C-alpha cells in the first residue's frame, strides 16, 4: 500500500513509534526512525527493518527540542529517500508532579517535545505533500487530549494542543490530498508509561501494583493496556484509501476511557 513512499516517525527507537515504523515498512514504505538510545540498539532496529521488509531505513538523531534539527531531518529524508509522504509525530516525554511543584524545565521540555516538535515537523513536511498532492500526517495524542488527570499539567496541555494543531492543519490542507489526524490511545504499556510509575507512586503514596490498577487502568473499562501493535495498525489504516475522507479527527483508542 505504501510502496515508493517514505514515512518519518519521530520518537521511534522504541514503543509506539518503533511499532509504527515497522508497520509502515511492512506496507512497503521506506522509513526514517528518530529518537534517543544506545547506538548499538538503534542500529539493530534500523538494520532489522531493512532486513525484515526489504525497504530502506535511515536513522535521524534530530533533537525534538531544536527546530533546526527537525527541519533538517525532513529535508534529509526528502533528499535521501525522495519524499516525505507520511509524517507521524510521536515523540514524547512525561513528568508527574503537582502543579505548584512542577519543575519549570520539565514544563518547557514537555511542551517542546510533545507539542512544538509536531508543529516544526509539519511546517517542514507540508510543502512537499502539497506539491505531490498526497500526504498523511498522524499525530500521536492521548486520551489526555480529551480529558485531564491530576499531576500531569504539562502533558495534558501539550496533548490538548496537539488536538487543536491537528484540526487546524487539516482544514488548511483539506483540498490538497493531505489528511491530518490524531490517534488518542489510553494507557499503552511502553517505556514512557513504565517510567512514570515511580513518580506516580511518590505523588500518590501508592505501590506499583496500586498505580497500575487504581491509576493507569482505573479509567479504562476494558482494564487492559492498549498495545503498540493496535496503535500501529490504526496508523496504517489512516494511510489507506479507505481512510481518505478521515481528516481533522481526534480518534479515541482508549478501551472506553473517554466514553464515560
Q: What cell does 20 get? A: 509504527
For the chain, which domains are there?
6-188+226-259 (3.40.50.720)
pLDDT of residue 81: 98
Parallel, antiparallel, or unpaired: how do β-strands 178-185 and 250-253 relate? parallel
pLDDT tens for each residue of the chain, 260 residues long: 999 999 999 999 999 999 999 999 999 999 999 999 999 999 999 999 999 999 999 999 999 999 999 999 999 999 999 999 999 999 999 999 999 999 999 999 999 999 999 999 999 999 999 999 999 999 999 999 999 999 999 999 999 999 999 999 999 999 999 999 999 999 998 877 788 789 889 989 999 989 988 888 888 999 889 999 999 999 999 999 999 999 999 999 999 999 99
For 3, phi then psi, to 5°, come to -60, 140
pLDDT of residue 213: 86
Is there a catalytic annotation at residue 151? no
Catalytic residue among 59, 151, 155, 187: 155
Whether the CA torsion 17, 19, 20, 22 is positive or negative: it is positive
Whether the CA torsion 146, 148, 149, 155 is positive or negative: it is positive
pTM of the model: 0.93
Amino acid at each position: 500500500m505504501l510502496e515508493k513512499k517514505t514515512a518519518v516517525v519521530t520518537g521511534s527507537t522504541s514503543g509506539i513509534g518503533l511499532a509504527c515504523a515497522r508497520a509502515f515498512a511492512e506496507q512497503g514504505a521506506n522509513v526514517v526512525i528518530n529518537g534517543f538510545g544506545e547506538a548499538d540498539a538503534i542500529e539493530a532496529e534500523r538494520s532489522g527493518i531493512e532486513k525484515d521488509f526489504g525497504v530502506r531505513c535511515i536513522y535521524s538523531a534530530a533533537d525534538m527540542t531544536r527546530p533546526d534539527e527537525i527541519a533538517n531531518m525532513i529535508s534529509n529524508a526528502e533528499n535521501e529517500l525522495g519524499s516525505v509522504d507520511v509524517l507521524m509525530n510521536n515523540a514524547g516525554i512525561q513528568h508527574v508532579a503537582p502543579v505548584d511543584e512542577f519543575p519549570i524545565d520539565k514544563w518547557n521540555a514537555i511542551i517542546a517535545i510533545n507539542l512544538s516538535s509536531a508543529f516544526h515537523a509539519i511546517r517542514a513536511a507540508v510543502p512537499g505533500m502539497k506539491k505531490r498532492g498526497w500526504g498523511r500526517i498522524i499525530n500521536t495524542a492521548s486520551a489526555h487530549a480529551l480529558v485531564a488527570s491530576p499531576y500531569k499539567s504539562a502533558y495534558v496541555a501539550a496533548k490538548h494542543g496537539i488536538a487543536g494543531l491537528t484540526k487546524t492543519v487539516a482544514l488548511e490542507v483539506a483540498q490538497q490530498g493531505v489528511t491530518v489526524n490524531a490517534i488518542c490511545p489510553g494507557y499503552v504499556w511502553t517505556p514512557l508509561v513504565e517510567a512514570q510509575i515511580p513518580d506516580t507512586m511518590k505523588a500518590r503514596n501508592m505501590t506499583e501494583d496500586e498505580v497500575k490498577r487504581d491509576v493507569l487502568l482505573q479509567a479504562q473499562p476494558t482494564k487492559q493496556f492498549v498495545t503498540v501493535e493496535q496503535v500501529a495498525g490504526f496508523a496504517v489504516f489512516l494511510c489507506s484509501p479507505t481512510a481518505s475522507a478521515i481528516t481533522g479527527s481526534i480518534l479515541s483508542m482508549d478501551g472506553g476511557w473517554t466514553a464515560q
